A = this chain, B = another copy of it.
Amino acid sequence: METRSSSLRVSLPAFVLIFEAVIVALYAVFVTYDEHADARLQNNHTNPMDNAVYRDYPIFTDIQVMIFLGFGCLLAFFRLYGFSGMVFNFLTATFAIQWAILVQGYFQFSHDGKIHLGVNNLINAEFACAVVLISCGAVLGKTSPLQLLVMALLEVPVFAATEWAVLKYLKINDAGGSILIHLFACYFGLGVTFVLYRPQLNDGHAKETTSYQSDMLSVMGTLFLWVFWPSFNSALTLKGDDQHRAILHTFIGLSASTLTAFALSAMLNKSGKLTMADIQNVTLAGGVTVGASVDMMISPAAAYALGILGCTACMLGYKYLSPFLARRFRIQDQCGIHNLHGLTGLISCAAGICAILVASEEVYGPSLYEIFTHRAPVEGDPRLRELQLLIPGLRPGLGRTAQEQALFQVAAVFSTIGVSALGGVATGFILKLPFLAPPSDDFCFDDKLFFDVPPDYDTPLKLQLLRVVNESD
């Protein structure tokens, strides 16, 4: 039986409406338009077509499709949890974005006591949202919508603060977000699921299965993510050749990991068949693996090799590491985010560090100091003058050597993992508060708990009937 406490009738509206009241008040007091959206700041020298919206908006819609349709469909892979997979993603994403606008706005986009809003902020907020959605993958099917919202409420500030601190103090290169997005999201999610450990689920769950339609829908989600991933990885690079390379590398990396995933899926299957879960997830590993070096001159072949490498690690992770983590370390990683975002993220960071160590003016020309800003000579260095003759707008840097930059990358990796894992564990304890209405073990992976379901909603008995029918075939 469903428990009385699973009703959302009071808790969800109370939480959401209070949140909205707070948000609208904070927006009213602190949020104003940025200089590209404010009518008063336009003058007779403004060319409307130079507005940043024309540079940012196409990237923004691509990422929107990834967030709402890509993640939404991908997470609807359970037979009896399709509504929840797709709809809670919708809920959590909209919640996280509007919260991130404020929190990131405070850290990154505020001056004169105001947060200045433009489409650029929305892109950044979508990244914060992606972090939350990835983390949620670890606990898919085992959380109430209220728990997901509280998780987003807590994760967004921890993420925004980490992002701000790492970028401000460690000053790293991370165009595709391998460190700040994928590693952060992964270890935060693992922290949460560690605390929410459900021993009974280690033996499998009757409802933890897919259906023919849910598998198809989930592949569609994969394809949405696959198609637009180059936009995701190149959204925050420098414009021009840097963004161009980011697009090429992401495409090549994804292509390589897709082929590899098919090969390994057949190879690791006892009867030599393909497994849909591999197609849905492992094909995407290359997009993460090229992330940290996505805008660098790593060569197309290296992007290809990274795709193969990331995919292999990801596949082996699903096959061997995830069951091991669940049994030995109480880490039940439902969607395998540690494989798709953690292992690949670590490989990506390593590759990024190698790319930084070998980066030279020979390969990059003087634009080396644009991509690796912190390697540019310091203010006053005569070398800066020379470079500024070649690249007029070049800003003084910190004069870091390649080795120094690499060390800062390493520091960023470890501090991000540390903060996110701790944040996740702390969040997990808060999510255990009883009024957040977690589903009982029996009602995990079941839409019926939180949705009015249509009459053809599957039931164990129907499935049993189908099994009898199938077996008698």
Contact = CB atoms under 8 A, between A and B. Distances in A.
A76 interface: yes
Contact of A274 (B275, B365, B451): B451
A37 to B, nearest CB: 4
B7 A271 contact: yes
A351 interface: no
Nearest to A371: B39
B455 A82 contact: no
Contacts of A472: 461
A376 to B, nearest CB: 15
A216 B467 contact: no
A49 interface: yes
A220 to B, nearest CB: 7
A273 interface: yes
Contacts of A318: none
A416 B145 CA distance: 42
A72 B256 CA distance: 19
Contacts of A300: 27, 31-33, 117
Interface stretch (A16-24, A323-331, A438-446): A16-24
Contacts of A267: 9-10, 12-13
Contacts of A160: none
Interface stretch (A182-190, A226-234, A422-430): A226-234
B455 A467 contact: yes
A52 B23 CA distance: 39
B238 A48 contact: yes
A308 interface: yes
Contact of A90 (B239, B279, B451, B452): B279
A69 B272 contact: no
A395 interface: no
Contacts of A238: 48
B248 A117 contact: yes
A273 B7 contact: yes
Contacts of A266: 8-9, 12-13
Nearest to A21: B308
A272 B9 contact: yes
- Among A53, A391, A459, the most chain B Cβ lie within 10 Å of the Cβ of A53
B390 A44 contact: yes
A293 to B, nearest CB: 13
B390 A308 contact: no
A239 B82 contact: no
A297 B276 CA distance: 48
B365 A241 contact: no
Nearest to A243: B53
Q: Which 8 A-B pairs have the closest CB atoms?
A: A48-B240, A9-B272, A7-B272, A28-B301, A16-B263, A8-B266, A27-B301, A40-B365
22 contacts: A7-B271, A9-B271, A16-B259, A17-B260, A24-B304, A27-B300, A27-B304, A33-B245, A39-B297, A39-B363, A39-B364, A39-B367, A40-B367, A43-B390, A47-B240, A51-B243, A64-B227, A79-B456, A90-B283, A94-B259, A117-B300, A275-B451
Interface of A: 6-10, 12-13, 16-17, 19-20, 23-25, 27-28, 31-33, 36-44, 46-49, 51-53, 55, 57-58, 61-62, 64-65, 68-69, 72-73, 76, 79, 82-83, 86-87, 90-91, 94-95, 97-98, 117-119, 122, 145, 209-217, 219-220, 223-224, 226-228, 230-231, 238-245, 247-248, 251-252, 254-256, 258-260, 262-264, 266-267, 269, 271-276, 279, 283, 297, 299-301, 304-305, 308, 363-365, 367-368, 371, 390-392, 450-463, 465-467, 469-470, 472-473
